[in-house]
Structure 1
Amino acid sequence: MADSFATRAHLDLNGKTYTYYSLPKLAQRFDLAKLPYSMKILLENLLRHEDGVTVLPEHIEAVAKWDPLKEPDTEIAFMPARVVLQDFTGVPCVVDLAAMRDAVTRLGGNPAQINPLIPSELVIDHSVQVDVFGRPDALDLNGKIEFERNKERYSFLRWGQKAFRNFKVVPPNTGIVHQVNLEYLARVVVEREVDGVLQAFPDTVFGTDSHTTMINGIGVLGWGVGGIEAEAAMLGQPSSMLIPQVVGFKLTGRLPEGSTATDLVLTVTQMLRKLGVVGKFVEFFGDGLQHLPLADRATIANMAPEYGATCGIFPIDAEALNYLRLSGRPEAQIALVEAYAKAQGLWHEPGQAEAQYSAVLHLDLGDVKPSLAGPKRPQDRVLLQDVQANARDAIAGLTAKRTPKAAVETMAAEGGAQPQAAHLAARPISKLRIQDQDCELTDGSVVIAAITSCTNTSNPAVMLGAGLLARNAARLGLKAKPWVKTSLAPGSRVVTDYLKKAGVLDDLEKLGFYVVAYGCTTCIGNSGPLPDEVSRAIAENDLVVASVLSGNRNFEGRVHPEVKMNYLASPPLVVAYAIAGTVDIDLSKDPLAHTPDGKPVYLRDIWPSNKEIGDVIAATIGPEMFAKNYADVFKGDTRWNQIESPEGESYKWDASSTYIKNPPYFDGMSMNVGTIDDVHGARVLGLFGDSITTDHISPAGSIKKDSPAGRYLISRGVQPADFNSYGSRRGNDEVMVRGTFANIRIKNLMLGGEEGGNTIYFGKDGSREKLAIYDAAMKYKADGVPLVVIAGKEYGTGSSRDWAAKGTNLLGVKAVIAESFERIHRSNLVGMGVLPLQFLDGQNAQTLGLDGTETYDIVGLADGQSKTATVIARKADGGEVRFEVRVLLLTPKEVEYFRHGGILHYVLRQLAAKKAA
């Protein structure tokens, strides 16, 4: 590698000599004193990868002279030190790598060329579902069902573990990917031999889960990418990015009594969403850091996708070292982290000079109040005292058109209800008997209370807080309401150990919170079925029921198809709402329950103090817990090791499999590179409004038997009871393309905004037909008609799911025209050869009078060289609407990828060309 600025230096430590690229040496040429921490990480990355081709001296200079107020317009290349995958997104990555081995062979290359070049670690954590709950054997039974459902997938991953170098798999029943990353996989500073030289450099990471940003809490720069971009990084391809703006978030003070890290992160999310940080880095600083434990920092960093940022990073400081020591990292590694950070000027001390930022927000931690977020977006924070009013407003909106018999009779009895009170006066009641108790379910009833997801289960303060609250409640004889599906899914086995040691796991179990799994459950939609009695009660009067979960995602249709309101909350509040059994309550002043002898119990009566929580943490958590639980982290249990898997460099595809299939992306591929052509005569597959998330687009959750995917599986001999979930079948493109845009809550405005994945198919003979989106797309494909999707603001927010782009491509969509795009999804669309186009400011489908009945031409693309294009929408009556759009191929590299048909095609041709040469 080149070293134009003579920054190569040496660090002697632990009896070793490390080569590193010195930022203080570069500071002799450029003023780096005010450069943000995250920009220093980018700068070091460029220094270390300078090669005269991808990274040039001018790229280094551009970051060294970074202007915080400048709009991003300079492209740089970033190469992460490693990749971390979870199984939902990881399985299709490994499927693609296996397919690329076949394809590169056909192009004259060597299959061994397709191999991760950097450490790539996959954690199986998204496949387990909460089928069994509220009983001591829930963990074992859910694990048994998980292995039965996913045997093919797990066999495939075991093949990959053997076939690929630099690829490791953390087996099921271990923990959530982000927590395993934080507690074990993260290096913070990497020690690696490169071309025979021992180097030290910052740990950086790409992850196929958007919440990869959790690792920012310990000073590791990384973010979520699509599986496509992750695969390219695994294959040694740098990621092109624009030098970002960096928003500084100053924290002062300390959290007050009764407020948690969850309340803090919901406040931060709301503030940053209001500012607008999409595509930007966020960096936390200020004297408040010294009062913020590492787990709290990780909680804030985890939710960067929710506040829209690329990352939400904290610096390396004494607290980071404390956590490394607590989590059992070797002393030699801790010494390297400290020495390197100090040598590079990456070390943070309280009171040090502040960096310059593109904008600065300030929060006094003492102002944070107990909060939830919902009922359908993580940025919609609601103070605890306002949840009841928020829920009632949501119920009123969701029940406006509902007039069940019970509601009509109630309103008649009341002499007609006023509009503002209609949802209360007309509230239907479904009677049920459950757990040998007669119960009543109505609007606002909590039917799921889940301590789940990486956001909070990595945080001892809120987990032990939940346990202590459960202890206080149990002592008063309180229990969760019988209609509430309760679950506890710790982020790692360490959590269970410290809950046991603290003596509160029994108390959680007394309230129904038995450990159900070590994985991402409710937050990803793996809630499992509700009890039959509860499902029938909901259906009886179309009730608007709620979930309360300690997760990070609560988008419509995500948590459970029968649950229309979903609130994010801290683990202690999850327990509290399970006891209350409804969100139609003000827990700040109303009793959440009564003791068996009829005495009211208020939330304040059972809420543990900050000191009590802190004392329990100090008395229970130590390095030995981490050392024990991560001693054989890649080994797996008996179930894992008994799975048979094939051998060999190339995967032996099973044509009968409905889980793993060779995808069609490389069919007919040659060494010839294509061009970016104009689009003519396209039809609209879907016309959508604002905030269409990747949860709306990407197949997720359960598979309905009458859906295109369900019909396909039945045709292959799969019974509905064995459908499993879309996530588990991400390795089969036939299933996934049928589930794209099939979300039960998606609203296609071509159909008046009705819910469900349908559209209008316009035949060449002038006919119109309402069809499932997949069925219409296949008819258009047979007709030779290209497709476009039109949408509003924030298109593609949500998880960084590659299938939201892959499925769009396989449906035949050539372009998506939206008011704005989420960063990861735009990148994924480019990577799959789907053109992202942006309306000009102030324009959208409504202002332009577009209703989806038109045919569309997209002209003036100039083989990707034009930054704008003209769209011509032709009406059935012969009228035309012409408008300009921005072409969001943001870098020359993205244009090159697009010409190749996508990033994987580009990599394949590069590798095949090397072999041929």
Structure 2
Amino acid sequence: MSLTLRERSQDTLEVDGQRYHFYSLPRAAQQLGDISRLPKSMKVLLENLLRWQDGDSVTAEDIQALADWQKDAHANREIAYRPARVLMQDFTGVPAVVDLAAMREAVKRLGGDVSKVNPLSPVDLVIDHSVTVDHFGDDKAFAENVRLEMERNHERYVFLRWGQKAFNQFSVVPPGTGICHQVNLEYLGKAVWHQAQEGKEVAYPDTLVGTDSHTTMINALGVLGWGVGGIEAEAAMLGQPVSMLIPDVVGFKLTGKLRAGITATDLVLTVTQMLRKHGVVGKFVEFYGDGLDDLPLADRATIANMAPEYGATCGFFPIDGVTLGYMRLTGRSEEQVKLVEAYAKQQGLWRNTGDEPIFTSSLALDMASVEASLAGPKRPQDRVSLGDVPAAFRQSTELEVNHAQTAAKSVAYQEAGKQYHLEDGAVVIAAITSCTNTSNPSVLMAAGLLAKNALTAGLQRKPWVKASLAPGSKVVSDYLAAAQLTPYLNDLGFNLVGYGCTTCIGNSGPLPENIESAIKQGDLTVGAVLSGNRNFEGRIHPFVKTNWLASPPLVVAYALAGNMKVNLQTEPLGEDRNGKPVYLKDIWPSPEEIARAVQQVSTDMFRKEYAEVFEGTPEWQQIRVSEAATYDWDDESTYIRLSPFFDEMEKEPKPVAEIKGARILAMLGDSVTTDHISPAGSIKAESPAGRYLTEHGVERQDFNSYGSRRGNHEVMMRGTFANIRIRNEMVPGVEGGVTRHVPDNEQLDIYDAAMRYQQEGVPLAVIAGKEYGSGSSRDWAAKGPRLLGVRVVIAESFERIHRSNLIGMGILPLEFPQGVTRGSLKLTGDEQIDVENIADLKPGGKVNVTLTRQDGSKETLETRCRIDTGNELTYYRNDGILHYVIRNMLRH
């Protein structure tokens, strides 16, 4: 019997006296053909297939197809990718652990062994999404916010502590430690993994999937990883391969260097705009070119982080000398660093100067051409040059401020006995926040130095600005303190508020009451400036209509200027003590100043902060939990409830039910994000979720956010499609989660209408435009519609992660024929929908959909099935991916 390619490619590598076994790409190439110009990211996938070749999920043909990709830089083939590990944050992680616990209940009910329900791949869950900026602007802010976080989230934290004990290969990084992506970059990521297998130490590339779309930040370290929905992540941790099509790879060539005064944030906003324009949805982006020789790893991380904003699956930087330097700086062992270098060079994964891989398409940027930029008012790809921000603010036709308004509005308000005026354009939130920039010492030091220079010049933050600093890890506090910049940031109100995502995910906390009242009184259009990656409508704060992404030093500058209509390039930020105007250029730190400050960052800081990364605060350690294999569910809990997804599940799947006479629950436009669909942000008292909490005895001040209650399906299904900015075209002129119940035409909250349809036994459909489900990976954007009774979504196009999540929850995604839209069909939302031959679905095949209009006339469309792979079809036929996994466990 001849040897498989996997067996033939086995080789060994000696590093510092330690022998590692590995699957050699050069050896495989002897049979596959020359792979030297395959993009490095594709070589990581190739090694993955080679190592997992089993003749079933991975065949010799799959491996050959990936090697042959070079011929036309495209391959229309499904592969099964098995990442080494899974990364979770707590908002998306809690429901995953709820599902694991519910799966144990289902296995128990069906007579199986509950101990089989365990992660089969290592899982790290970092609690980073639960801290809210309630307190700010003083030295007590951090302690107060952490205290409130522990109080509000006690039930969730008890549950996660139980999960940490109950499940194997599941570790939890406690609250108050850092953002999952930065902890991953600074500590968890290894670049090359190794593990004992059958008595051998096997080395292989570090790969992962994460339940946060910004998992891509780790690509900066040469680690292939991207965000998936919680549903896909659960499957990966339960040993299921991630089903994917061999991707196209877009090359992005970087040359030159950034000019003085230009930051990594300016660079990433430029890259994001270019790649969005180029079109990279569902594709890998790989950075190459000699500009990488001097591009610091923190700058690479800033670019890799924003892959979801430019639409790519990932933004990959190959391993090189810069990678090794960063690993040493952050305290990785010398043995690990040497292994990374030796393995990467042996496998052809090392970036050499002058490398020119084959790409599907490519584009280039001379970094010397980048200029100071923001992005706004509501999309991360809408880059605006610094001097053009006032015009962008005024010109946005979507802003109510421009509707037939002649004079600028101004509302007087009182604070500490003084009268101030709040105007249109006022900056009411200035937040140094989120993983994009808070991993980057150069922009954080620049912010601290700008604060120092501003105070020296006699400038102060405007009193209506809520300022905050939420670093990605404790190391940031250490190096700002070592550079003696913390006092200056504090003096401007940028006190530490917590180590977590805060403002970028909508945890900006309440504005002071007098500011909120003034905004409401004047119906003012105000702004938030944040160093984050997301600025969608309604995301940052319900009263803030325009949101602007900017570098940390520009966040500080806008806190000083106080208004988006100030041109920071030509107008003063304020006056010095002698009444002389002070301009941004007067206080912007020099490259030499920034470089001197960055030199304060030391390896000892990383070693100190990560020595006890899993320990947590005394409050965390004092949480007591049961030792039982199944969770002790509390029927009174409003945070953690046993999910109903497996209630009616049987050992064998039933045939897929036909979709007949479906009603349209919502008809939506283009670029509807998962923020619009999934419950996110604060819970309004008068909303269905607010009413549910009130009925269960929860006081309004204790509602917490939707994200913190993701472990309770009752809250989440009530908050699905409830975003304050969503526009359902069935109810023109109305914003928010409202629909019409057909045929009686009654206007209801979407949840209430869905429940009425369920009582009537009517299946539901959602109609949408282009890029349905863009934005963060949110499992509740698929779980919520499933619980509401949505069976099918028909859109012009889908964002990658959301499409697979819909299938993972047993919802059918269909695409309108080319050139056909809800507009061209003149849909009103009163139509009934029949989906034909649902039992004969084929990946990417044609599916006939019949529309029956109010007058009884019918029209049949040939839609495209967006179940793209055989694996996805298997999940759909099992009524979802988790049902499929449970049935597998019961069979073995």
- Whether these two folds match at TM > 0.5 is yes
Q: Which runs of 5+ in 1 are unaligned?
A: 402-421
Residue 611 of structure 1 and its aligned partner are, at CA, apart by 2.2
Q: How does 1:185-584 map to 2 (within 5 A)?
A: 185-351=188-354, 353-394=355-396, 397-400=399-402, 423=405, 425-584=406-565
Aligned equivalents of 1:588, 1:400: Cα separation in 2: 24
Shift in alpha-carbon separation, 1:7–1:92, aligned structure 2, 3 A? same
User: Counterpart of 2:832?
Assistant: 855
Contact kept? 2:65, 2:75, Cα under 8 Å: no
Aligned equivalents of 1:11, 1:777: Cα separation in 2: 60
User: Counterpart of 2:575?
Assistant: 594
Amino acid at match of 1:568: L
Residue 864 of structure 1 and its aligned partner are, at CA, apart by 2.0
Contact kept? 1:69, 1:245, Cα under 8 Å: no
> Out of 14, 17, 22, which is 1:15 matched to?
17
User: Counterpart of 1:93?
Assistant: 96
User: Counterpart of 1:418?
Assistant: none
Residue 26 of structure 1 and its aligned partner are, at CA, apart by 1.5
Contact kept? 1:68, 1:357, Cα under 8 Å: no
Aligned equivalents of 1:680, 1:201: Cα separation in 2: 49
User: Counterpart of 2:105?
Assistant: 102
> Out of 593, 598, 605, which is 1:617 matched to?
598
Q: What SS does the aligned partner of 1:145 have?
A: helix
Residue 272 of structure 1 and its aligned partner are, at CA, apart by 0.5
User: Counterpart of 1:411?
Assistant: none
Q: How does 1:728-877 map to 2 (within 5 A)?
A: 728-762=708-742, 766-865=743-842, 867-877=845-855
Q: What SS does the aligned partner of 1:856 have?
A: strand
> Out of 641, 645, 648, which is 2:621 matched to?
641
Q: What SS does the aligned partner of 1:789 have?
A: strand
Contact kept? 1:745, 1:756, Cα under 8 Å: yes
Contact kept? 1:675, 1:863, Cα under 8 Å: no
Aligned equivalents of 1:574, 1:259: Cα separation in 2: 14
Contact kept? 1:677, 1:863, Cα under 8 Å: no
Contact kept? 1:395, 1:443, Cα under 8 Å: no
Q: What SS does the aligned partner of 1:103 have?
A: helix
Q: What SS does the aligned partner of 2:833 have?
A: strand
Aligned equivalents of 1:885, 1:389: Cα separation in 2: 42
Residue 2 of structure 1 and its aligned partner are, at CA, apart by 5.4
Report Cα offsets for 1:554-586 as digits up to 9, x if no partner: 001100000000000000000000000000111
Report Cα offsets for 1:48-103 as digits up to 9, x if no partner: 00111111111111101114646542010000000000000000000000000111
Aligned equivalents of 2:174, 2:288: Cα separation in 1: 36
Aligned equivalents of 1:68, 1:311: Cα separation in 2: 22
Aligned equivalents of 1:868, 1:13: Cα separation in 2: 54
Aligned equivalents of 2:437, 2:290: Cα separation in 1: 23
> Out of 113, 118, 122, which is 1:115 matched to?
118
Residue 612 of structure 1 and its aligned partner are, at CA, apart by 1.7
Amino acid at match of 2:640: I
Residue 398 of structure 1 and its aligned partner are, at CA, apart by 1.6
Contact kept? 1:68, 1:246, Cα under 8 Å: no
Contact kept? 2:757, 2:763, Cα under 8 Å: yes
Contact kept? 2:66, 2:75, Cα under 8 Å: no
Contact kept? 1:658, 1:713, Cα under 8 Å: yes
User: Counterpart of 1:416?
Assistant: none
User: Counterpart of 1:407?
Assistant: none
Is residue 2:638 matched to residue 1:658?
A: yes
User: Counterpart of 2:871?
Assistant: 893
Is residue 2:137 matched to residue 1:134?
A: yes
> Out of 38, 42, 47, which is 1:44 matched to?
47
Contact kept? 2:401, 2:424, Cα under 8 Å: no
Aligned equivalents of 1:595, 1:379: Cα separation in 2: 36
Amino acid at match of 1:658: T
Amino acid at match of 2:124: E
Residue 395 of structure 1 and its aligned partner are, at CA, apart by 7.3
Residue 436 of structure 1 and its aligned partner are, at CA, apart by 4.1
Contact kept? 2:809, 2:881, Cα under 8 Å: yes
Residue 637 of structure 1 and its aligned partner are, at CA, apart by 0.8
Residue 872 of structure 1 and its aligned partner are, at CA, apart by 1.2
Contact kept? 1:372, 1:382, Cα under 8 Å: yes
Is residue 2:29 matched to residue 1:27?
A: yes
Contact kept? 2:526, 2:546, Cα under 8 Å: yes
Contact kept? 1:171, 1:634, Cα under 8 Å: yes
Between stretches 671-680 and 92-101, larger displacement belongs to 671-680
Residue 198 of structure 1 and its aligned partner are, at CA, apart by 1.1
Contact kept? 1:676, 1:864, Cα under 8 Å: no
Report Cα offsets for 1:710-767 as digits up to 9, x if no partner: 00011111111110110000000000000000000000011114211000001xxx42
Contact kept? 2:6, 2:51, Cα under 8 Å: no
Aligned equivalents of 2:571, 2:398: Cα separation in 1: 22
Amino acid at match of 1:704: K
Contact kept? 2:9, 2:23, Cα under 8 Å: yes
Report Cα offsets for 1:306-364 as digits up to 9, x if no partner: 0000000000000000000000001111111111111111111222x310000000000
Contact kept? 1:452, 1:521, Cα under 8 Å: yes
Q: What SS does the aligned partner of 1:372 have?
A: strand
Aligned equivalents of 1:196, 1:805: Cα separation in 2: 42
Q: Which runs of 5+ in 2 are unaligned?
A: none
Aligned equivalents of 1:68, 1:83: Cα separation in 2: 33
Identity %: 60
User: Counterpart of 2:149?
Assistant: 146
Aligned equivalents of 2:666, 2:535: Cα separation in 1: 23
Shift in alpha-carbon separation, 1:435–1:365, aligned structure 2, 3 A? farther
> Out of 657, 679, 682, which is 1:699 matched to?
679
Contact kept? 1:703, 1:723, Cα under 8 Å: yes
User: Counterpart of 1:409?
Assistant: none
Aligned equivalents of 2:644, 2:243: Cα separation in 1: 26
Residue 118 of structure 1 and its aligned partner are, at CA, apart by 1.3
User: Counterpart of 1:412?
Assistant: none
Amino acid at match of 1:693: T
Contact kept? 2:73, 2:249, Cα under 8 Å: no
Contact kept? 2:465, 2:562, Cα under 8 Å: yes
User: Counterpart of 1:408?
Assistant: none
Residue 677 of structure 1 and its aligned partner are, at CA, apart by 4.2
Aligned equivalents of 1:324, 1:653: Cα separation in 2: 43
Contact kept? 1:813, 1:834, Cα under 8 Å: yes
Q: What SS does the aligned partner of 2:669 have?
A: coil
Shift in alpha-carbon separation, 1:733–1:49, aligned structure 2, 3 A? same
Q: What SS does the aligned partner of 1:686 have?
A: strand
Q: What SS does the aligned partner of 1:375 have?
A: coil
Aligned equivalents of 1:677, 1:102: Cα separation in 2: 25
Shift in alpha-carbon separation, 1:193–1:166, aligned structure 2, 3 A? same
Aligned equivalents of 1:337, 1:704: Cα separation in 2: 50
> Once superposed, what is the RMSD of the aligned Cα atoms?
1.2
